[in-house]
Amino acid sequence: MTINEIFNSNNGFLSSKELTTRNQWYQLKKMIDTGMVVKLKSGLYCMQQFGITEQNKEVAQIIPSGVLCLFSAWQYFGLTIHNPFEYHIAINREKKIRIPSYPPIKIYRWSEKFYKLGIIETDSIKIYDIEKSVCDAVRFRNKVGMDIAIEVVRNYVRRRESRNFDKLAKYSRELRIEKIMQNFIMPML
């Protein structure tokens, strides 16, 4: 089996466990050097030709009730330069799902209230709107890192034409982070 066939059978992903010959390793190194393949993490590689939007659509088909959140949503909206190596998907806490080995997916199980808030559908994928995504950065600031949360909020504030502070305040109240959000935003205005 050629390395391209392995990538195609795994929707653009490859695990080092699947490489059995020296020639396959050589081909992989060559593809990384030319920029055709990106190393996502130790032992996991992704082919560049499989665009982010196409991969998002595939993930949406794998988990139809899932919603792109956190790092995946921030990347989609251009709020962070951080490139996640796995897809971050929120699901209702009550749902039971099986996650395939490809593509790499991190599941977040949220209560009905937090799960349903701010879902939009764009490019045939469910994703949280930009204001909910900003709120999630502040809400999970201790888990994702304060530097990421500040980066997301700062990039949102800089979007003068597309920001909606009223909606952001509404979501902040519903997520019980209103004071914390104000502390993040006030120095940036």
58-103 per-position pLDDT tens digit: 788 788 899 999 999 998 899 998 878 889 999 999 998 888 777 8
Whether 159 has a pLDDT exceeding 80, the answer reads yes
The pLDDT value recorded for residue 51 is: 55
64 and 146 co-located in one domain? yes
Q: Which two tokens stand for residue 174?
A: 């519903």
Whether 168 has a pLDDT exceeding 90, the answer reads yes
The torsion region of residue 129 among left (phi > 0), alpha (psi -120 to 50) and beta comes to: beta
93 and 26 co-located in one domain? no
> How does DSSP classify residue 160?
T
Which domain does 68 fall in, by range? 52-188
Q: How far is CA 123 from CA 25, 56, 151, 173, in A?
A: 35, 9, 25, 29
Model confidence band, residue 143 (pLDDT cutoffs 50, 70, 90): very high
* Domain termination site, one of 11, 32, 47: 47
Average pLDDT over residues 32-54: 74
What string of DSSP letters covers 45-98? Answer: EEETTS-HHHHHHHHHHHSTT-EE-HHHHHHHHT------SSEEEEEETT----
Whether 50 has a pLDDT exceeding 70, the answer reads no
> How does DSSP classify residue 3?
H
* Domain termination site, one of 47, 65, 82: 47
Rg, Å, the chain Cα set: 18
